[in-house]
Chain A
Amino acid sequence: MVNRVFDDQAFADEVETFVRRFQKVSRSAVSLLKRLLYQIDGMDFEDAMQCGSDTNVIARLSEDCQKGIERFLTKD
């Protein structure tokens, strides 16, 4: 149930460093992923896959994804 363990002395700084990683990734992508993970709880494989497919479509249409793809395709 614990994802990371840090020494007590460094705990506050390590927590800060870890959590700030979420600033570097797409907010909408992380939100969609969180929703999906809880949504598929208890689903069978096919239903979970369908849910994943629907989430895939939603992600593609997001502003973050469209901008991200454009950045990727136009970078040198």
Chain B
Amino acid sequence: MESVLYEVDDAIARITLNRPERRNALNAEIIAALKVALRRADHDQDVRAVILTGAGSDFCSGADLQALQQISTASVSENLEDAHSLMEIFTLIRQVRVPMVAAVRGRALAGGCGLATACDLVLAARSARFGYPEVKIGFVPAMVTAILRRNRRVGFGQSSL
């Protein structure tokens, strides 16, 4: 099963995180596939907007903690490389030339909340739940802090439509 699905329907690209059995938790494979999908959407001149969403009932529950536990025993430089790989997602989302719209149903937690926050627009189902619970286990929403520092969301939504 592909970890990230990519489809285009009449100029609207849809990127779907596809690990519903793990609430679309992020691991190296899904991060790599997400980057490919983002670059693909950016290069497609026919695409007018990109929807980022999750398969199943949740958007994304954040980093796969099992994967995180495994890499935490690796070297500092390997951990830096792993964190950098996730950071590239946030910068790619910003670099995609057309609007990135997070469509959030269910849980958008930790890195998943970061993914949604990194998008240009966020559309949420009433049942959606956002949050950064990782602080309870000693982890931090560090990279997304750079995004949260400024709130441009209202400006983009109002100025482009």
Contacts and interface: CB of A to CB of B under 8 A. Distances in A.
Contacts of B157: 3
A41 interface: yes
Contacts of B153: 1, 3
B142 interface: no
Q: For the side of the interface on B, what is the size category?
A: 35 or more
B98 A15 contact: no
Name B's interface SS.
mixed
Given A23-B48, A30-B99, A6 B124 contact: yes
22 contacts: A1-B117, A2-B104, A3-B153, A3-B154, A3-B157, A5-B123, A5-B126, A6-B124, A8-B105, A8-B127, A15-B51, A16-B12, A19-B101, A22-B12, A22-B48, A22-B99, A25-B161, A30-B48, A31-B98, A34-B98, A37-B155, A37-B156
Interface of B: 10-12, 48-49, 51, 53, 94, 97-99, 101, 103-105, 116-117, 120-128, 130, 148, 150-157, 159-161
